[in-house]
Structure 1
């Protein structure tokens, strides 16, 4: 893709690789990145130095197809088929290695739990396909049990989603809490004729009020609560709930062939009902972080128990509930944002002496970003200036929507910032 909203990816690439603009796709090479041999653009225009995606599709010939058929015979279920990048606990991107067995079986489990094998389903896909939510949770169950996947628009569009649900007669929908907030607001205004049997919600925290509105406004008969992570392929807790008996706290029950335990800070297993860190083991746990054995050992022990970094309560009936997060991450509308990355960028502003970014409650998005800033002496700054500074330089969803100017930051005796104190001060603000 050459551009998205205010970001022009092709221009960014050309700034990094100036030779891209002066060569054709066949002759492209870079002294700066010698391993990069080919650039492919998903654009409707031809870009210098890059192949167009449609050109690549037309390049296939019988020999290529035959070669793929031969290669398939040597593929094992345990072979890595997807390196899914996620920022992990430190904010630095890590490649999460997933194999065929994990993606195929997790997709089967999801579809079976949702009973997609008992009826014809037409699934409205609101989520992006470059996340495991789209790739594993949406696509794989439909491959297993048959069905229609409806892709309303190239980019996220609540209006297109609601229109597709009506016009394409979708009876199943998956999405994040933010997406359901948007659908509820639109449906309240236009009252389209829709008939949704099931809705899966996950990827961020949701409120009891949202589930109630999903039932009352969207007329959803069954809401499916889900919990998972990229490191666990996709979903590990999942349950279908009757909308007359909504369990608003649970994220469902542990999946088939998956183990779960909750541990204290010393790694000792805690009893049912006690909060601690959730650990997962089973076919779903990633192989490793690509090329980072030390980082892998930080989250996975020798018995392949994966630490999720989430504060969790496990109940005797196999259900669980998330009560907090151990890692410093803000989940805005289902997108993981690591404050360190945003802080590092904003700290370049000439008027800022120190900045710390926190998550504050937001009814629609779950959480929103608030930049807590200590200014340089004699300087001033408002939210509009900060927003303009960030536009086109970091992703839109990473731009803080709130700004708080502080004289000093709460710190521990060792000088570490107490972000929980900042949250206590500002989290009461409703956007």
Structure 2
């Protein structure tokens, strides 16, 4: 009898998920159970923490290039992208024309399907055109952080065997041409734009978006003009031979520790994750998205670019790099309705809006992702920016972006205390340290399986096998709690857990607590060595303007009745700016280095 009740209750639960949480559907089945109803209800939370959420809209088998064609046909005269700092605009129709010019140009250079094209650039129009052009040509785009210096760029180009790299001439204090010459000294002496480099044997072409003639390099305008009309028209015919299962883009992991890995993602990953992200965020052809995130990151290229393309929405680039003042101006001038950013970006945007007090009348929704967001920051985003909705997304580079996301109609409790509901067509489970599945509501490591998981870490079968087994379950490394209703909560990164005198402390819980203090703008917590306890809690904090310090004793008093005493940071260190990756993640290993250096100086 117990087995039958469990089986029926599983059916009730999964049916209710399939029908987007229909309470009426669930109640009707519970009525059928008659006297067994109470046991069935209780059993919902007694099940192993495993879910496979089947969405309403089926997955599609299309490439990025085919998706762009559909967008051009359906939304032709709608603006696809506006680059405020470059004063450039494209409708979906004109976008397709220039994208095919890029695709034809890359093939004219001799690149073949499956070859890798590096894009080492900030948020400029040529980044967007190149990514889509590479996809239309059957090539694989490789996003490279524009802040990278010579050795880092050298690593990326070698790691994935980049054949052509596209960049601006300069950005901020960077001179990209001089940096590329430092690792490819043969560049100025190359003939007809073809490079033969001893250090970078795979690199054959350097393309620079500049009006200047630079020795050995092609200009981006040169690339646009390489293919003739017949070759550009042939790109449309090529789309039937670009398989959705093939690689589309390589994402270097954030590199918060060690050398970044190169996650290979497919067209199928891109198109479907973008579609379902856009569905949840209720995007349409009237949506205008203020893009603060870097395009080269998975947040930029999937959550932003692909979600917009699949729904005919407009992207607005306020600046080449993140600038709170430019973002606010773009929201006003371009009538943006949606804002995309990481938590740290919203911290800075809120601070700037408190100063400028601009009329953000059209903005209705903020989407945050890339790192955990504290409940206090959620409230500040809504209040200070005057928004109707704040949505959160959670995922990894290796899962093509999003595996949990807020749903329309989620209440404040859901928004503030979860990372949203399991994304459509994704399967997850939560396991303990021995790999055994835990119950709903219990913490463990989150595993993911489904259409969104990466193909592999490029040319790294060992790391691929460590992360994703033969059963295709991908290990996220996140300590996670999955509820029976499909919502989830991050407890913290397993490798960041602090063990203080035998007590486990997850930094995120402490960070959320600290961020609610009136003196603190932003806080990040690390574990530091302690002779007696093994580890102690150390908090680095950005303080409000005019506030010079905050003490351990102040925090102890503030914590009374809110969190356990052992979670109160023993050390509190004010900091002006946090070291971050370009995607907005805090580089905690650099905070650890700072603490270590401070201890040396004290000694």
Question: What TM-score results when the alignment is normalised by the length of structure 1?
Answer: 0.75
Residue 315 of structure 2 is matched in structure 1 by 149
Residues 6 and 64 of structure 1: CA distance in aligned 2, closer, same or farther (over 3 Å): same
8 Å contact kept, 1:113–1:238: yes
Does residue 1:183 correspond to 2:380, yes or no?
Answer: no
Residue 264 of structure 1 is matched in structure 2 by 432
Residues 180 and 89 of structure 1: CA distance in aligned 2, closer, same or farther (over 3 Å): closer
Does residue 1:110 correspond to 2:303, yes or no?
Answer: no
- Residues 234-289 of structure 1 show CA distances to partners (whole Å, capped at 9, x for unaligned) of 11100146697253220001011101111111111111111111110111011111
Greater RCO (CA < 8 Å, at least 6 residues apart): 2
For 2:235, which of 42, 45, 68 is the aligned residue? 68
Displacement after TM superposition at 1:153 (Å): 1.4
- Residues 34-61 of structure 1 show CA distances to partners (whole Å, capped at 9, x for unaligned) of 3221111233433221111121112121
Displacement after TM superposition at 1:405 (Å): 2.9
State the Cα RMSD in Å: 3.2
Residue 478 of structure 2 is matched in structure 1 by 310
8 Å contact kept, 1:152–1:160: yes
Does residue 1:51 correspond to 2:222, yes or no?
Answer: no
Residue 457 of structure 2 is matched in structure 1 by 289
Map 1:174-213; keep pairs closer than 5 Å.
Answer: 174-195=340-361, 196-213=363-380
Which one has a bigger Cα radius of gyration? Answer: 2
Residue 325 of structure 1 is matched in structure 2 by 493
Question: What TM-score results when the alignment is normalised by the length of structure 2?
Answer: 0.54
Does residue 1:34 correspond to 2:201, yes or no?
Answer: yes
Residues 304 and 244 of structure 1: CA distance in aligned 2, closer, same or farther (over 3 Å): closer
- Aligned residue-pair number: 355
Residues 128 and 88 of structure 1: CA distance in aligned 2, closer, same or farther (over 3 Å): closer
Residue 218 of structure 1 is matched in structure 2 by 385
Displacement after TM superposition at 1:27 (Å): 4.9
Residues 240 and 19 of structure 1: CA distance in aligned 2, closer, same or farther (over 3 Å): same
- Residues 126-149 of structure 1 show CA distances to partners (whole Å, capped at 9, x for unaligned) of 111111111111122222222221
Residue 94 of structure 1 is matched in structure 2 by 261
Secondary structure (helix, strand or coil) at the match of 2:241 reads: coil
Residues 66 and 239 of structure 1: CA distance in aligned 2, closer, same or farther (over 3 Å): same
Q: Output the CA distance in 2 between the equivalents of 1:41 and 1:98.
A: 26
Displacement after TM superposition at 1:8 (Å): 3.1
Residues 296 and 71 of structure 1: CA distance in aligned 2, closer, same or farther (over 3 Å): same
Residues 228 and 361 of structure 1: CA distance in aligned 2, closer, same or farther (over 3 Å): farther
Q: Output the CA distance in 1 between the equivalents of 2:373 and 2:540.
A: 11
Displacement after TM superposition at 1:2 (Å): 3.3
8 Å contact kept, 1:223–1:240: no
8 Å contact kept, 1:225–1:241: no
Secondary structure (helix, strand or coil) at the match of 2:385 reads: coil
Residues 88 and 21 of structure 1: CA distance in aligned 2, closer, same or farther (over 3 Å): closer
Residues 297 and 87 of structure 1: CA distance in aligned 2, closer, same or farther (over 3 Å): farther
Q: Output the CA distance in 1 between the equivalents of 2:397 and 2:253.
A: 7
Residue 299 of structure 1 is matched in structure 2 by 467
Gaps spanning 5+ residues in structure 1: where? Answer: 332-338, 340-357, 365-386, 391-396, 409-431
* Greater share of residues in helix: 2
8 Å contact kept, 2:281–2:408: no
Residue 103 of structure 2 is matched in structure 1 by none
